[in-house]
Amino acid sequence: MSFLTQLFATRQLRGLKILLASILTAAEMLGLVLFDTAVTPRGQKLDLDGYALVFEDNFDGDELDLSKWLHRYPGRVNAGYQSPEQVSVGGGLLRFKALYREDGPYGPGIYSGEIRTRREFVRGYFEVRCLCSEGGGLWSAFWMNSDGMASAELSDGGLGGAEIDIFEANNYNANIFNRNAVTHAVHVGGYGEGLRSENEGSFKVPKPYSQFNTYGMEWTENEYIFYINGVESLRTSFQKGVSRVPEYVILTLCLPVEFPEENAGVTTDFVVDYVKIYQKDAA
């Protein structure tokens, strides 16, 4: 850089930086169009002006606070089992541990965990700071759901309830262009024939498996706005519009639909530093 300062004036250096940034952006967009590769979040910065903190868990104790959380769907899920035994709190962190257990409470198999908030929310900003799990066919997820996803009629194109995937870290086994990236998605219409999905693509994250990052979503009256480390990655109002009904927040170390025998030795952790929820007019 000192060499460049000898050749160019300050205003020229600014222009050079802008030019290089534009070239990199254009290259990413070309990769997205041709190969569906991950892109860098470049939207607006998160602004919580007017919001108040209404829910917070920093996991400071030595066990899960069951006044805030419920274990969700213990038992058989996909190719494995979910069990409260796989969820622990200690050292200021929430940990979901996935591993193969011969002595599991539901029989031998791959075990993981899932929790949801007791409270439900309509609109707000929802954020997690976490370290994503590595490999084994499992993946970390921070998402929302509602009773309205029980059927297409109740969901009503998303107005009566939607599944909002704030992030899923399901790219660990992807190519080098997508591996360090997460996805966002919105699903409406229930989980039968009426299911309609908008998969929003992959967005780059710095070292998601070895470095803590934040993932958030602002749910306004008109749209869902997704953020990675406080920078907007995308916004959508799929399909008829945003949900108008209460939704609960979920943390999951997701189990695969198939679990090959060669993965039986896999262990992987989804580690959460905090969950925070903000709403306007909270007072």
Residues 137 and 253 in one domain: yes
pLDDT in tens, 215-248: 999 999 999 999 999 999 999 999 999 999 999 9
Q: How far is CA 63 from the centre of its chain?
A: 23
Tokens of 36: 């569906």
Residues 106 and 12 in one domain: no
Distance CA 148, CA 141 (A): 20
**pLDDT confidence of residue 52:** 97
Say if residue 204's pLDDT is above 80: yes
Q: What is the DSSP string of 36-60?
A: ---B---SPBP--TTEEEEEEE---
Say if residue 27's pLDDT is above 90: no
Selection from 167, 111, 95, 170 nearest residue 137 by Cα: 170
Residues 265 and 207 in one domain: yes
Say if residue 178's pLDDT is above 70: yes
pLDDT in tens, 39-74: 999 999 999 999 999 999 999 999 999 999 999 999
pLDDT in tens, 86-118: 999 999 999 999 999 999 999 999 999 999 999
**pLDDT confidence of residue 261:** 81
DSSP structural state of residue 105: B
**pLDDT confidence of residue 142:** 98
**pLDDT mean over 134-150:** 95
Q: How many residues does the chain have?
A: 283
Residues 55 and 25 in one domain: no
Count of structural domains, the chain: 2
pLDDT band at 191 (very low <50, low <70, confident <90, very high): very high
Residues 17 and 67 in one domain: no
Say if residue 205's pLDDT is above 60: yes
First-to-last C-alpha distance (Å) of the chain:
51
CA angle, residues 258, 226, 187, in degrees to nearest 5: 45
Between 204 and 261, the more confident residue is 204
- The residue with tokens 């069990």 is 83
Global confidence as pTM: 0.90
Residues 16 and 89 in one domain: no
How big, in percent rounded to 5, are the helix, strand and coil portions of the chain?
A: 15, 40, 40
Say if residue 188's pLDDT is above 80: yes
Residues 174 and 274 in one domain: yes
Residues 160 and 176 in one domain: yes
Residues 19 and 136 in one domain: no
Cβ contact 42:229 at 8 Å: no
Residues 81 and 10 in one domain: no
Residues 17 and 59 in one domain: no
CB-based contacts of 93: which residues, under 8 Å, 6+ apart? 59, 271, 272, 273
**pLDDT confidence of residue 43:** 95
Residues 31 and 54 in one domain: no
Question: What's the domain range around 1?
Answer: 1-35
CATH number for the domain that contains residue 227: 2.60.120.200
